[in-house]
Amino acid sequence: MKKIAILGSTGSIGTQTLDVVRANGDLEVLGITAGSNIQKLEEQIREFHPKLVAVMKEEAAKELRDKVADLDVRIVTGMEGLLEVAAMPETEILVTAVVGMIGIRPTIEAIKAGKDIALANKETLVTAGHIIMPLAKEMGVQILPVDSEHSAIFQALNGEHHKEIHKLLITASGGPFRGRKTEDLKKVTLADTLKHPNWVMGQKITVDSATLVNKGLEVMEAKWLFGMDLDQIQVVVQPQSVIHSMIEFVDGGIMAQLGTPDMRLPIQYALYYPHRRYLAGDRLDFAALKQITFEEPDMDTFLGLPMAIQASRIGGTMPTVFNAANERAVAKFLRQEIGFLDIYALIQASMEAHKVKENPDLDLILETEQETYEFVESQVSGL
């Protein structure tokens, strides 16, 4: 039995990870965490029997303890609880499927405890890649990508030599507003934004896909995961989401990974790497698909991508500002407090106002996050 823990077990990636566990029979889930979804946690505890469960708030923990009083499980709370699940002594792999920068500290804690990381939480590498990657190397742990694009690159790298990579080609669906212009985006609603053409995901990443912030975060994530220069990473729009990403090698040869849009494949690949397991589900049917098309990303309309690249080029604390401003702006957009284009305006204003500090440590990253949240609040009243 391979022993794992999952941060964010009630979310889109978390529940699909449990689907993979259910389908295989040789994975044991020792720890799970959620923000506040007590009902789903109770179901998961009854089905998977973890020893340790973390929720964010004490009231939620109390309620959950009452619900599962008949079971042998310990319920812990807050960041301390998350850290405890991340570093549980018996686990081999931690699946980081929480959303947002909250994932940074538990990921670092797990690496220090020698766990391999199945990494879905991209915000962690975006803001703290310069801490996480060297630490993982020092501790001899693997960072196994779950994000489909990075998993595709990871799969395409099998048997190849890293130094022979010429560039990475990260594919993008273009999101629900592909083809629209800024003028059209003024009036788009939350419901329009949450209709992703190909993938069913959590709300935050679905909004990020529409703004192309998600693709920007993925470029930054790829830079850290694969040790690339930004100039070696190209985004290619491929609206059918069939090619999950590609590597162009120095001789011009291109390796790609294709498949139906199903996150269980990259999740399962990370959990069993370097092996593959049978996975039930739809297979690509080329006759039905007929064509795969390509476009350039529209960087003049979808500012999430160029702003992310700019933040990454500047480096230091700027990627944290980009990410934190986006997190706060998206939360406000989801509560329908601001419009779609205000997300770009808030990120841009936050980046312009920020004085960059080089090579931030964890405390400075978290301080920058707080300052950015406060800056976004101060700006919203003026929108």
Q: Which one, 1 or 148, has the nearer CB to ligand NDP?
A: 148
Choice between 120 and 321, CB closer to ligand NDP: 120
Q: Which does 120 bind (CB under 5 to 8 A by kind): ligand NDP, Mg ion, none?
A: ligand NDP
Angle (deg, nearest 10), helices 203-211 and 340-353: 80
Sign of the CA dihedral with 17 first, then 22, 24, and 26 last: positive
Q: How far is the CB of 258 from ligand NDP (least distance, A)?
A: 17
Nearest to 224 by CA among 130, 123, 345, 111: 130
Residues present in the chain in total: 383
Least CB distance to ligand NDP at residue 100 (A):
6
Locus of tokens 């080029």: 313
CA distance 120 to 319: 18
Residue 80 Cβ vs ligand NDP, minimum distance, rounded to whole Å? 12
Judged by CB under 5 A, does residue 123 bind Mg ion? no
Q: Which is nearer to Mg ion, 116 or 149 (CB)?
A: 149
Q: Residue of minimal CB distance from ligand NDP?
A: 11
Q: Give the residue with the Cβ less far from Mg ion, 5 or 201.
A: 201
Of 118 and 246, which CB lies nearer to ligand NDP in the complex structure? Answer: 118
Check: CB of residue 257 under 8 Å from CB of residue 145: no
Q: How far is the CB of 122 from ligand NDP (least distance, A)?
A: 5
For position 147 contacting Mg ion by CB under 5 A, the verdict is yes
**Measured over all CA atoms, what is the biggest interatomic distance in the chain, rounded to whole angstroms?**
62
168, two tokens = 């990475």
* Helix (H) or strand (E) run with residue 117 in it: strand 116-119
Q: How do strand 243-249 and strand 165-172 relate by DSSP bridges?
A: antiparallel
Q: Contact positions toward ligand NDP, by CB under 6 A?
A: 8-14, 34-37, 56, 97-99, 102, 120-123, 147, 199, 201-202, 204-205, 263
List residues binding Mg ion (CB under 5 A).
147-149
